[in-house]
């Protein structure tokens, strides 16, 4: 699905697909400014003083929700977070009615996560409030791809020419789709790998530079970046493989890392399942940047909110 033309500057942030390289570079550069130095705390600014950001989460989330909240507050904004379980949505109110009610309270931006692909685009067409997509169904998760790019660029001078293996439940992953769009715009080679049932062939056509691999070893060979994905059990209807069986064929173990570049980095958007997608030795190894990703989430979301609201 392609989102309506949008710009992070004016209309919010609905996806990576319709951003251009310059917009992405500007956000990543500004995020660098917000990254704390070692032994430093985050910068606190007042640029969004007087602004209200509503975080509306219709799906479970820990790091994304908290990270948006912290980012908004560190810029001086007020935040209100609504989880669908505790709201009128659970009393049967429609999405449009919920959003019209919130819009009547005149927030300056809405950050939204929803299980339906396209839900934030639908709202953006109806409301005159910038919408930030915090993950919509199988479609996009733009701030995750931006924080992933920020993390890769903390370890590599450029994205161009990098070999990035994205491994796991590609079929149900909005993280994979947003990353493919972003990495492809910068000329990376992207290998998507997973069990045949979780690796739709048409994804090879999603963007230039994408290839498919069904075996881990093939995907990891020479990789600069290995991005592991969670098996999205909540989005699957067929009986999934057992954790042990999945780990045997698609779990990342220390011995795999020897096939990659010596300074390979291992990423995962979280939440991680040790013993399914990756071993504890890998998750806790020197090569893992999983916690750096979480940390960069705040800096990137500060850059996005500032751009949209100030």
Binding region for ligand NCD (CB under 6 A)? 63-64, 135, 141, 144, 174-175, 230, 232, 269-270
> What DSSP character marks residue 129?
S
Here the tokens at position 116 are 């339906």
Query: What gap in Å lies between CA 258 and CA 274, rounded to an integer?
Result: 20
Here the tokens at position 97 are 């009615």
- Considering only the C-alpha atoms of the chain, give the largest distance between any 2 of them, rounded to a whole number of Å: 56
H-state helical runs in the chain: 21-34, 63-74, 95-104, 119-126, 142-153, 174-185, 216-220, 243-250, 254-257, 280-283, 290-309
> HSE of 207 in the Cβ direction (CA atoms, 13 Å)?
22
Nearest CB to ligand NCD, comparing residues 223 and 294 = 294
Taking CB atoms, the residue at the shortest distance from ligand NCD is 230
Nearest CB to ligand NCD, comparing residues 176 and 303 = 176
Nearest CB to ligand NCD, comparing residues 51 and 266 = 266
CB of 65 to ligand NCD, least distance (A): 9
Phi, psi of 303 (to 5 degrees): -60, -40
- Cα Rg of the chain, angstroms: 19
Nearest CB to ligand NCD, comparing residues 62 and 101 = 62
Angle between the 21-34 and 174-185 helix axes, to the nearest 10 degrees?
110
Identify the CA nearest to 307 among candidates 110, 130, 105, 103.
Answer: 130
CB of 100 to ligand NCD, least distance (A): 26
Q: Are 74 and 300 in contact (CB under 8 A)?
A: no
CB of 115 to ligand NCD, least distance (A): 10
CB of 19 to ligand NCD, least distance (A): 18
CB of 61 to ligand NCD, least distance (A): 6
CB of 191 to ligand NCD, least distance (A): 19
Nearest CB to ligand NCD, comparing residues 147 and 303 = 147
CB of 268 to ligand NCD, least distance (A): 8
Query: What gap in Å lies between CA 81 and CA 68, rounded to an integer?
Result: 10
Nearest CB to ligand NCD, comparing residues 230 and 256 = 230
Strands (E), the chain: 12-13, 52-57, 78-83, 109-114, 131-136, 163-167, 189-193, 210-213, 225-228, 265-267
Nearest CB to ligand NCD, comparing residues 108 and 180 = 180
């Amino acid at each position: 699905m392609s989102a309506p033309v949008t710009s992070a500057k004016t209309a919010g942030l609905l996806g990576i697909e319709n951003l251009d390289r310059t917009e992405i570079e500007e956000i990543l550069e500004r995020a660098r400014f917000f990254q704390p130095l070692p032994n430093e705390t985050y910068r606190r600014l007042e640029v969004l003083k007087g602004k209200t950001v509503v975080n509306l989460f219709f799906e479970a989330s820990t790091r994304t929700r908290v990270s948006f909240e912290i980012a908004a507050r560190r810029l001086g904004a007020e935040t209100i977070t609504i989880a669908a379980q505790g709201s009128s949505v659970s009393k049967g109110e429609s999405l449009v009615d919920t959003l019209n009610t919130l819009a009547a309270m005149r927030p300056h931006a809405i950050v939204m996560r929803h299980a339906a692909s396209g839900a934030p685009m639908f709202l953006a067409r109806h409301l005159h409030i910038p919408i930030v997509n915090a993950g919509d169904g199988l479609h996009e998760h733009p701030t995750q791809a931006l924080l992933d790019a920020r993390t890769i660029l903390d370890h590599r001078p450029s994205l161009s020419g990098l070999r990035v293996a994205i491994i796991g439940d590609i079929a149900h992953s909005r993280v994979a789709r947003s990353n493919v769009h972003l990495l492809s715009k910068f000329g990376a080679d992207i290998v998507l790998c997973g069990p045949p049932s979780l690796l739709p062939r048409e994804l090879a056509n999603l963007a230039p530079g994408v290839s498919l691999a069904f075996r881990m070893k093939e995907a990891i060979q020479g990789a600069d970046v290995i991005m592991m994905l969670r098996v999205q059990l909540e989005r699957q209807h067929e009986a999934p493989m057992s954790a042990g069986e999945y780990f045997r064929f698609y779990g990342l173990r220390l011995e795999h890392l020897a096939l990659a570049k010596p300074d390979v980095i291992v990423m995962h958007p979280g939440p991680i399942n040790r013993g399914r997608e990756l071993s504890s030795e890998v998750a806790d190894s020197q090569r893992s940047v999983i916690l750096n990703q979480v940390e960069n989430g705040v800096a990137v979301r500060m850059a996005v909110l500032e751009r949209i609201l100030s």
